Amino acid sequence: MRFMVIVKATADSEAGVMPSEELLTAMGRYNEELVKAGVMLAGEGLHPSARGARVRFSGSQRSVVDGPFVETKELIAGFWLWEVASLQECIDWVKRCPNPMPGDSEIEIRQIFEAEDFGAEFTPELREQEERLRAQLSKD
């Protein structure tokens, strides 16, 4: 099972406060554990929302809203992609994580859809297309 492990933003991360050397060192050790265990597929930190944008869809219309965005608790400061056997294993790994922020923080866990989750609507042609795109991505 694959999961996106989402580090929620805080007022500090949205203000562009960079992590300390101590936190970067602790996170580096933690990421090494994840890689050695074969859990981590990817992981990145994100710039504050002030450097981002949102594209809103309404029918065929598109509108762009530039950051920053108001609701800090709804924003993402970083993420990992992990492959583990269960939600519980994912939770166990998250509980071992150093606190990713100087103060209180929160990490959200969301399971990633797999092809079989989409049922009959995910036709053989769509499955073939998906496999072809994934193969192409793995070559790059």
- For residue 64, CA distances in Å to 46, 51, 56, 129 come to 19, 13, 6, 30
User: What's the confidence (pLDDT) of residue 73?
Assistant: 78
- If you count them, how many residues does the chain have? 140
User: Residue 72 has what pLDDT?
Assistant: 80
Specify the pLDDT at position 11.
93
For the chain, what are the domain ranges? 2-139
| 42-98: pLDDT as tens digits | 999 999 999 999 999 999 999 999 999 988 878 999 999 999 999 999 999 999 999
Enclosing H/E stretch for 109: strand 107-111
Half-sphere exposure of residue 10: CA atoms within 13 angstroms, side-chain side: 15
Are 90 and 82 within 8 A, CB to CB?
yes
Which pLDDT value is given to residue 94?
Answer: 98
Q: What is the pLDDT of residue 65?
A: 95
| Strand partners for 54 | 65
The CATH number of domain 2-139, selected from 3.30.70.1060, 3.40.1180.10, 2.40.10.340, 3.40.50.720: 3.30.70.1060
Per-residue pLDDT at 116? 87
Residue range 93-137, pLDDT digits in tens: 999 999 999 899 999 999 999 988 999 999 999 989 998 998 998
Count of alpha carbons within 13 angstroms of residue 11, beta-carbon side: 2
Rounded average pLDDT over 35-42: 98
Q: Are 1 and 111 in contact (CB under 8 A)?
A: yes
Q: Is the pLDDT of residue 140 over 80?
A: no
The vertex-88 CA angle with 85 and 93, nearest 5°, equals 85
